């Protein structure tokens, strides 16, 4: 019987080895390990054996059975693995084909610049204020120390609607409006972005509509050195930590002293190049200490309060920062231009 | 203002600095230097030569053969200039000279005859043609007789001069004069200033016996001074004076005109010279013009005056438009021998009005408009007399016929060191302040930290404390201010809720695939009335136009963002950019008046325009172009993020496709529309099929109050039931859905359309719409009975309201 079992084992293992599918393997299992299989048959004939032989043959039979079962299991695992492999092979795709597009949009470059500046000043405790684009002569000029007939009105030829109503020529009226609206004459610390309009013929450097951001801080003991410190922080965050600023005298009717702020040229690092016209400096914005007449007209006592104000043009900043070469790009909305600034 | 540095050196020493450094110092402390240029490029080897002989070239009619003495030798030079003549002193470029444009002068043979150099025109020496005196404009330059033979021309012709251009702000009209600039530079560099002296000898004839002056408009003309000069010989000005005028950008004419121009530039005081023989009387009367009075000005234009224009008259008729331009009849000419010289103070606004009305801007009007220095008016006249005596041989009559009501007083401004430091954030000492005032040449009295400053009349801009604060700050140096941050309490900056909501909407739409635009607020009158949303059309009375637009295209305030946005879409289509998806948040302007008397109402609108492909995936054969439902989907999702219920109602809107347009409502309020642009309008704008929306964003801002609160996540399973209804094709899905929601009761949490069918198996004029209904109870598991009873209620309701049948 021993020989019979060994022969069966050999024969079964051979068939397991030859099996190529789960089905064949199952057939082998049924054929050798099934209730009607030869091993069961052998075990059934054990009654004829001696007492001594019985446990030996029994043990051997179980061992053979176990070996065959192990062989089937391991073969099964390898066939399954091969089949999965095959399935995965068949499922392979060309990952280099284009994906399904998701529509992408984005903010206008001017919005990105304006929001960046808003966030920067919000970080320094400023609020954001807005005001009307169609203004009264009073707020656009008179409340800003520009009485009728003042020669400085020539600096900004305006679009009038009636003698008293015009398209605002700057965002500065929001200064006056904000201060006037403060009934308790609290400190004011605000910036105001918005559209402004001037009688200019549109060309590469002029636009009859453009954007401005105005800033105003009025409080007790506001010093010009505070203006310098705030502008320095703005310039460094906006244009890079290595940028230097300088203030130089200028004139605006609503500030005294008035200054213009330059930053050291990024292209040549102040050495002088064609971008900065060999001066090493690039003009960024106008600023100054709020004129006492402006404070007074807005109901703030200039003996008690002082303040600073500044104003800048996001178009100019965008042109400097990104090298945009024509201001009209901001208003033609060429989708190819807009998309250049949609990336983070 | 163009400032010749060679001229400036007559008043202040600036040789210690390079021109670039000087420009930088002036920019940082005073006035922006906008340009720095060489007047011409200095020439080497160009000297004064004496033309000893000048004969026709043997082989060329238009050339001359000259023997020219250049001091150390005599050169044979061929010259083609028409004005060359024997006996002239001319500029000779010797062989080896290099002229502007890297033009090298060599010995050469011209038509077989040797030529050893070139006789130069001013243009060839680098002077701009527009400044060259007319007599030399088309030929060589001829020196005055006293020019030294062999002398270098650089200095004689001022070729080595450097011109700086000052960008003057309106407050610094004091620097519209060389003396003003000299004061400025003296303060910045801390160097002394040398003022010109106006000394002349008058004869013993009293002017008052010859000329009388009367002013009938004291406010407009508080000072009028007349000098009388006889025996004037009109001719060329001295070379140095012509050089300075050219450097300052003025073409020399003759000595009388040149001298008045020179004094204008030196003192900042415009003067006018009349030919007294043609003046028409011996009385000067200044008055406002009569309405309709006429005057022919120097440029031979007849001007019709009004009573707002100030004129100089001879007692009968106008002879000059005060401060703007003289009359043609009394113009100085070659024949003039007697000059009446006017030195006057004219009111800025009066001059401004006249120069604006006649579009006549001149060096003179510019200075009067900005205000001249009262103390220099008469001085300037005296300086001109001196120069006319010296360079035009004039005999000056004794005295000045004048009318004088001018205010010569200096304004006093008090400043305190402590206040200055408080305002600047500095630590400047009393002594520093005193030193700054000394540099500025401002008279003052000091009492401890209190300074009483007498602002000189040349500085009309200094009136109040802050003006002096600026003077101190700039001379102290803005570079020397410390950097500080505001010491006031820390304020919490931030966006308001509404500003934050705007940003949310922008980011949402961008994420949904739209690109933000910025379009013009000013559009054409015609376009302003196109695509106006119904609720805007109802609120407005008329569109608002500019009084004086630059162009029709940008003449009227927009009532919708869409027309300009659609122009931008067309701009892209014309450039083969067929797929455009835009949005913009911006103001429109609603006037409720027929004739504007107050500011129009400004309303923020949210608009968009989409055209072309939306989602395409070609290799998978998917291609989705923009349609109504793409745009509606974006709007629905946006309102979902805003937690606002928006309904779409079929509507007709002017300019829109009548079958593909919906009006939007939030809580029964009309807030805008969405749909396809009418094919006719699409054509007018050169567009393809384009879908737009326009929403009253201000209304959204006003009602938005979303404060999300926690709602339990349902733990019990939902039940889905589908229902397909057959209805007349005119029944709208929205109406069915509303009925279902109403009838279904609270357990119906969501209703989705999943199929719309029309065609085979359905009767003519019928359609089927299938809905999925989602039932859920947050507190327990639903029973079949509950769902069934709701389902039956829905069937009854739609049958009743819409004649709907369950599709078999």
Is pLDDT at B112 greater than 90 in this prediction?
no
Neighbours of B705 (CB within 10 A): 8
Classify residue A104: in a domain, yes or no.
no
Of B258, B393, B293, B284, nearest to B343 by C-alpha is B284
Spans of all domains in chain B: 2-39+162-189, 44-156, 202-404, 411-479, 498-703, 719-806
Chain B CB contacts of A338 under 8 Å are 515-517
Name the packing angle between helices A2-18 and A22-33 (round to 10°). 170
Q: Specify the DSSP class assigned to residue B314.
A: S
Count, in order, helices (H) and strands (E) of chain B: 21, 43
Pick the CATH number of B719-806 from 2.120.10.80, 3.40.50.1820, 3.40.50.2300, 3.30.70.380: 3.30.70.380
Chain B CB contacts of A260 under 8 Å are 32
- Read off the pLDDT of each residue in A13-27 and give the average, rounded to a whole number: 89
Q: What is the pLDDT of residue A152?
A: 66
**Are the C-beta atoms of residues B237 and B263 closer than 8 Å to each other?**
no
Chain B: nearest CA to A100, how far in angstroms? 6
- Read off the pLDDT of each residue in A252-265 and give the average, rounded to a whole number: 94
CB contact under 8 A, B478 and A246: yes
Q: Which residue of B has its CA nearest to A330?
A: B518
CB contact under 8 A, B484 and A228: yes
CB contact under 8 A, B596 and A226: no
CB contact under 8 A, A209 and B580: no
Cite the DSSP H helix spans in B487-627.
497-511, 525-528, 534-539, 562-573
Q: What is B498-703's CATH number?
A: 3.30.930.10
Pick the CATH number of B44-156 from 3.40.250.10, 2.60.260.20, 2.40.50.140, 1.10.10.60: 2.40.50.140
Q: What is the mean pLDDT of chain B?
A: 93
Q: Is A102 on the interface with B (CB under 8 A)?
A: yes
Is pLDDT at A65 greater than 90 in this prediction?
no
Chain B: nearest CA to A86, how far in angstroms? 25
Q: Cα–Cα distance between B88 and B75 in angstroms, integer?
A: 15
Q: What are phi and psi of A321, to 5 degrees?
A: -70, -40
Is pLDDT at B186 greater than 80 in this prediction?
yes
Is pLDDT at B490 greater than 70 in this prediction?
no
**Are the C-beta atoms of residues B180 and B193 closer than 8 Å to each other?**
no
Q: Is A149 on the interface with B (CB under 8 A)?
A: yes
Domain count, chain A: 2
Residue to substitute from A105, A146, A189, A219, interface B, most B β-carbons within 10 A? A105
The CATH T-level fold of domain B202-404 is Phenylalanyl-tRNA Synthetase; Chain B, domain 3 (3.50.40)
First to last CA, chain A: 82
Strands A188-197 and A127-128: parallel
CATH architecture assignment, domain B2-39+162-189: 2-Layer Sandwich (3.30)
Is pLDDT at B712 greater than 90 in this prediction?
no
Chain B CB contacts of A220 under 8 Å are 488
CB contact under 8 A, A248 and B29: yes
CB contact under 8 A, A189 and B426: no
Q: Is A201 on the interface with B (CB under 8 A)?
A: yes
**Are the C-beta atoms of residues A308 and B488 closer than 8 Å to each other?**
no
CB contact under 8 A, A331 and B24: no
- The CATH class of the B411-479 domain is alpha beta
Q: Which residue of A has its CA nearest to B349?
A: A149
Closest partner CB to A230 (pick from B349, B485, B517) = B485
Domain shared by A66 and A202, yes or no: no
Place of tokens 């009838």: B743
- Read off the pLDDT of each residue in B620-649 and give the average, rounded to a whole number: 94
| Both structure tokens of B593 | 């008046």
Neighbours of A334 (CB within 10 A): 16
Domain shared by A53 and A150, yes or no: no
Residue to substitute from B469, B477, B483, B623, interface A, most A β-carbons within 10 A? B483
Q: Has the ipTM of the complex gone over 0.85?
A: yes
Chain B CB contacts of A331 under 8 Å are 518-520
Domain shared by A113 and A87, yes or no: no
Classify residue A230: in a domain, yes or no.
yes
Is pLDDT at A155 greater than 60 in this prediction?
no
Query: Where does the pLDDT of residue B620 fall: very low under 50, low under 70, confident under 90, or very high at 90 and above?
Result: confident
Is pLDDT at B760 greater than 90 in this prediction?
no
Place of tokens 């064609």: A274
CB contact under 8 A, B547 and A199: no
CB contact under 8 A, A132 and B602: yes
Q: Is B375 helix (H, G, I), strand (E, B) or coil?
A: helix
pLDDT digits (tens, 9 = 90+) for A74-85: 999 999 999 899
B572 forms beta bridges with none
Chain B: nearest CA to A257, how far in angstroms? 5
Domain shared by A167 and A87, yes or no: no
Chain B: nearest CA to A83, how far in angstroms? 29
Q: Cα–Cα distance between B181 and B23 in angstroms, integer?
A: 12
A-B Cβ pairs (cutoff 8 Å, strict): 255
Domain shared by A299 and A264, yes or no: yes
Domains B202-404 and B411-479 belong to one CATH topology: no
Strands B580-590 and B601-611: antiparallel
**Are the C-beta atoms of residues A253 and A297 closer than 8 Å to each other?**
no
Chain B CB contacts of A336 under 8 Å are 577
CB contact under 8 A, A151 and B583: no
Give me the domain span that covers residue A150: 109-340
Name the packing angle between helices B178-189 and B19-29 (round to 10°). 90
Q: Cα–Cα distance between B48 and B69 in angstroms, integer?
A: 9
pLDDT digits (tens, 9 = 90+) for B386-428: 999 999 999 999 999 999 999 999 999 999 999 999 999 999 9
Q: Which residue of B has its CA nearest to A125?
A: B493
Chain B CB contacts of A228 under 8 Å are 425, 478, 481-484
Q: Is A138 on the interface with B (CB under 8 A)?
A: no
**Per-residue b/e over B214-247, b at no fewer than 16 CB within 10 Å?**
ebebeebbbbbbbbbbbebebebbbbbbbbbbbb
First to last CA, chain B: 92
pLDDT digits (tens, 9 = 90+) for B293-325: 999 999 999 999 999 999 999 999 999 999 999
Q: Is B145 helix (H, G, I), strand (E, B) or coil?
A: coil
**Are the C-beta atoms of residues B702 and B541 closer than 8 Å to each other?**
no
């Amino acid at each position: 019987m021993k020989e019979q079992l060994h022969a069966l084992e050999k024969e079964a293992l051979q068939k397991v080895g030859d099996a190529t599918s789960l089905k064949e393997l199952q057939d082998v299992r049924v054929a050798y390990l099934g209730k009607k299989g030869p091993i069961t048959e052998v075990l059934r004939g054990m009654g004829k054996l001696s007492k001594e032989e019985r446990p030996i043959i029994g043990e051997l039979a179980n061992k053979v059975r176990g070996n065959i079962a192990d062989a089937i299991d391991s073969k099964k695992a390898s066939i399954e693995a091969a089949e999965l492999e095959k399935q995965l092979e068949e499922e392979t795709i060309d990952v280099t084909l284009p994906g399904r597009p998701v529509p992408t949009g984005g903010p206008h470059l001017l919005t990105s610049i304006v929001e960046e500046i808003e966030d920067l000043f919000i970080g320094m405790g400023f609020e954001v204020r807005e005001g009307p684009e169609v203004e009264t002569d009073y707020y656009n000029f008179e409340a800003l120390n520009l009485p009728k007939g003042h020669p400085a009105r020539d600096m900004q030829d305006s679009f009038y609607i009636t003698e008293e109503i015009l398209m605002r020529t700057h965002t500065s009226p929001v200064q006056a409006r904000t201060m006037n609206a403060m009934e308790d004459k609290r400190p004011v610390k605000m910036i105001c972005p918005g559209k402004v309009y001037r009688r200019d013929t549109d060309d590469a450097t002029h636009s009859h509509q453009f954007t401005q951001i105005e800033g105003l801080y009025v409080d007790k003991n506001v010093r010009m050195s505070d203006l310098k410190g705030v502008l320095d922080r703005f310039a460094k965050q906006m244009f890079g930590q290595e940028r230097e600023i300088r203030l130089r005298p200028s004139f605006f009717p609503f500030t005294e002293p008035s200054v213009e702020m330059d930053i050291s040229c990024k292209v040549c690092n102040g050495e002088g190049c064609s971008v900065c016209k060999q001066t090493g400096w690039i003009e960024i914005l106008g600023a100054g200490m709020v004129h006492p007449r402006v404070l007074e007209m807005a109901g703030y006592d200039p003996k008690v309060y002082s303040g600073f104000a500044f104003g800048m043009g996001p178009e100019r900043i965008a042109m400097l920062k990104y090298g945009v070469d024509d201001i009209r790009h901001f208003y033609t909305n060429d989708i190819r231009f807009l998309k250049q600034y949609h990336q983070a | 203002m163009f400032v010749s540095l060679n001229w400036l050196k007559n008043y202040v020493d600036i040789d210690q600095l390079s021109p670039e450094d000087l420009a930088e110092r002036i920019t940082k402390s005073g006035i922006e230097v906008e340009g720095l240029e060489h007047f011409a490029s200095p020439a080497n080897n160009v000297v004064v030569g004496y033309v000893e002989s000048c004969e026709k070239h043997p082989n060329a009619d238009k050339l001359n053969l000259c023997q020219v003495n250049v001091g150390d030798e005599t050169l044979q030079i061929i010259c083609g200039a028409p004005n060359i003549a024997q006996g002239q002193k001319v500029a000779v470029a010797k062989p080896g000279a290099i002229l502007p444009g890297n033009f090298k002068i060599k010995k050469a043979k011209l038509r077989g005859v040797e030529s050893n150099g070139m006789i130069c025109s001013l243009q060839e020496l680098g002077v701009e043609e527009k400044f060259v005196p007319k007599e030399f404009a088309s030929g060589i330059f001829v020196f005055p007789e006293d020019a030294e033979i062999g002398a270098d021309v650089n200095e004689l012709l001022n070729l080595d001069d450097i011109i700086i251009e000052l960008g003057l702000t309106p407050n610094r009209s004091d620097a519209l004069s060389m003396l003003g600039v000299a004061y400025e530079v003296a303060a910045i560099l801390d160097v002394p200033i040398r003022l010109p002296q106006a000394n002349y000898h008058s004869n013993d004839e009293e002017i008052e016996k010859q000329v009388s002056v009367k002013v009938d408009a004291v406010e407009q003309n508080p000072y009028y001074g007349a000098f009388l000069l006889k025996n004037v010989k009109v001719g060329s000005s001295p070379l140095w004076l012509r050089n300075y005028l050219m450097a300052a950008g003025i073409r020399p004419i003759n000595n009388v005109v040149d001298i008045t121009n020179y004094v204008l530039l030196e003192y900042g005081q415009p003067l006018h010279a009349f030919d007294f023989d043609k003046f028409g009387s011996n009385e000067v009367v200044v008055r406002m013009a009569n309405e309709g009075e006429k005057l022919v000005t120097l440029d031979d234009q007849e001007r019709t005056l009004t009573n707002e224009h100030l004129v100089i008259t001879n007692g009968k008729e106008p002879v000059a438009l005060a401060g703007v331009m003289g009359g043609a009849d009394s113009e100085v000419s070659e024949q003039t021998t007697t000059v009446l010289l006017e030195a006057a103070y004219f009111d800025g606004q009066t001059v401004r009005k006249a120069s604006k009305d006649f579009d006549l801007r001149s060096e003179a009007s510019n200075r009067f408009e900005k205000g001249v220095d009262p103390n220099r008016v008469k001085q300037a006249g005296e300086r001109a007399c001196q120069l006319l005596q010296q360079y035009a041989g004039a005999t000056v009559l004794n005295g000045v016929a004048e009318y004088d009501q001018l205010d010569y007083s200096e304004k006093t401004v008090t400043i305190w060191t402590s206040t200055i430091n408080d305002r600047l954030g500095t630590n400047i000492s009393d002594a520093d302040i005193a030193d700054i005032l000394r540099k500025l040449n401002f008279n003052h009295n000091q009492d401890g930290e209190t300074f009483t400053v007498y602002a000189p009349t040349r500085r009309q801009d200094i009136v109040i404390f802050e003006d002096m604060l600026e003077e101190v700050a700039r001379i102290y140096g803005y570079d020397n201010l410390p950097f500080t941050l505001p010491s006031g309490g820390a304020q919490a900056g931030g966006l308001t809720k509404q500003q934050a909501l705007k940003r949310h909407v922008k980011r949402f739409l961008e994420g949904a695939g739209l690109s933000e635009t910025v379009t013009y607020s000013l559009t054409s009158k015609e376009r302003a009335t196109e695509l106006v949303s119904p609720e805007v059309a109802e609120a407005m009375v008329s569109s608002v136009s500019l009084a004086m637009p630059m162009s029709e295209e940008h003449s009227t305030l927009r009532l919708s963002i869409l027309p300009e946005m659609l122009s931008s879409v067309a701009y892209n289509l014309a450039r083969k950019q067929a797929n455009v998806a835009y949005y913009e948040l911006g103001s429109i302007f609603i006037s409720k008046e027929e004739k504007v008397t107050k500011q129009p109402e400004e309303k923020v609108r949210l608009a968009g325009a989409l055209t072309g492909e939306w989602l395409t995936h070609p290799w998978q054969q998917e291609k989705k172009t923009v349609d109504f439902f793409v745009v509606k989907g974006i709007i629905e999702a946006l309102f979902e993020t805003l937690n606002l219920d928006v309904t779409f109602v079929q509507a007709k809107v002017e300019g829109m496709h009548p079958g593909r347009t919906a009006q939007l409502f939030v809580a029964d309020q009309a807030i805008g529309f969405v749909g396809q642009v009418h094919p006719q309008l699409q054509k007018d704008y050169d567009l393809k099929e384009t879908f737009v929306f326009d929403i009253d964003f201000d209304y959204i801002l006003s009602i938005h109050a979303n404060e999300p609160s926690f709602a339990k996540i349902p733990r019990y399973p939902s039940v889905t039931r589908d229902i397909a209804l057959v209805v007349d094709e005119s029944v709208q899905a929205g109406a069915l859905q509303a009925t279902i929601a109403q009838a279904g009761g609270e357990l119906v949490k969501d209703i989705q359309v999943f199929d719309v069918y029309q065609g085979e198996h359905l009767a003519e004029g019928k359609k089927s719409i299938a809905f999925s209904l989602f039932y859920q109870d947050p507190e327990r598991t639903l029973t079949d009975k509950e769902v069934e009873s709701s389902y039956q209620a829905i069937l009854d309701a739609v049958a009743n309201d819409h004649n709907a049948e369950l599709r078999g």
